[in-house]
Amino acid sequence: SVWAEQNGCHSAGQAGFRKGFTTLDHILTRQALKQEGKANNTRIYCCFVDFQKVFDTVQCAQLMQHLKA
């Protein structure tokens, strides 16, 4: 959000939905993490979520019932 940008609430590595960042930034970050993990013999896990599709299919009333439980 504009407020978060103006108040420095984003970490330097957070590029999602930010002005001036593209998919390429995410690809390069993932590649750098992969190389670092390989160099340190550490496993790196990635998870990609299409939030637009997720929110289109969530039944909000049912979600609220689960959150209240």
> What tens digit of pLDDT does each residue of 9-27 get?
777 667 666 777 777 888 8
The pTM (predicted TM-score) of the whole model is 0.48
- Report the alpha-carbon distance of residue 42 to residue 36 in Å, rounded: 8
Mean pLDDT of the region 23-44: 89
pLDDT at 20: 78
42: Cβ contacts below 8 Å, ≥ 6 apart: 36
Q: Given the structure tokens 């999602």, which residue do they identify?
A: 16
pLDDT in tens, 39-68: 999 988 887 766 666 666 777 788 888 888
